[in-house]
Structure 1
Amino acid sequence: MCVLQAAEIQQLIPNRFPLCYIDQVDELVPDQRIVATKNVTINEDFLQGYFPGRPEMPGTLIVETLAQAASILILKSTQFAQRTAYIGSIRNAIFHKCVRPGARLRLEVELTKVKANMGIVATKASVDGEVVCTVELHFVVQPTVG
């Protein structure tokens, strides 16, 4: 079941095409967790130059996609509404498998710690039930400018 679609996602985070990677939010429990989806298609700009003939989603973009899902969770959380979330640090990024065109990337993010305007999320990306990436993201939330 889809909780948020593309237009609603764009109301929350500043990322736009071609850098908005979240297609939909499937589950959302504010202040706790989110499950979102990224459909990786052969038409992605980044696939044109990343391993031609054997395209795969770059690991850095998997982390960025997880960070975008985390931003949605953070900004839907009670104390951070109407703000902007920024990555403070990336910890323990582990890449287990490649993500190829046609994959439906499932993004799971759990809010593990919050203190003032900072926090930590534990994230996991998977395809067909197999984990492809895990990473801990530290974030800072600031008032929205503009």
Structure 2
Amino acid sequence: MIDLLPHRPPFRFVDAVDECNPGRDVVARWRITGDETWLAGHFPARPVVPGVLQIEALAQAGAVAVLADPRYGERLPLLGGVEDVRFPAMVEPPADLRLAVTIERLGSRGGWGRAEASCDGT
């Protein structure tokens, strides 16, 4: 299902889709190995996955759910905004990030949903 995404490496952050109900919800995964080139600069002594990349990974997971719906399959998924974002813990490699997205509203101009990334249950 990740091939539904227009994103390609090195900017595709969804590695696998565990569950998907088209147009409704998705559970996906992003495996961070520690070998990613951007980690060399964020931060050299203690690599940390940037929050903005976690948001992008969630947006990509949500895009899978939207693009799996035949009504939206030909669309270009663009992130239009985020609200009420919190990062309760740092994500340090290696890590398996669980990406859970629920689509709450879909329309002709886009959609809205809720998303949560977790790592080892946090």
Letter paired with 1:122: R
User: 1:113 deviation in Å?
Assistant: 1.2
Give the Cα–Cα distance (whole angstroms) in 1 for the partners of residues 70 and 109 of structure 2: 12
2:58–2:101 contact (8 Å) kept in structure 1 = yes
TM-score, with structure 1 as normaliser: 0.79
Give the Cα–Cα distance (whole angstroms) in 1 for the partners of residues 88 and 71 of structure 2: 34
Q: How does 1:53-68 map to 2 (within 5 A)?
A: 53-68=45-60
1:103 aligns with 2:76: no
Letter paired with 2:58: L
Q: How many residues were matched structurally?
A: 122
Aligned to 1:41: 33
Q: Which runs of 5+ in 1 are unaligned?
A: 131-146
1:115 aligns with 2:73: no
Aligned to 1:83: 75
Give the Cα–Cα distance (whole angstroms) in 2 for the partners of residues 86 and 37 of structure 1: 20
Q: Which runs of 5+ in 2 are unaligned?
A: none
1:20 aligns with 2:12: yes
Give the Cα–Cα distance (whole angstroms) in 1 for the partners of residues 79 and 32 of structure 2: 23
Write 1 or 2 for the structure with the bigger share of strand.
1
Give the Cα–Cα distance (whole angstroms) in 1 for the partners of residues 54 and 79 of structure 2: 14
Letter paired with 2:25: R
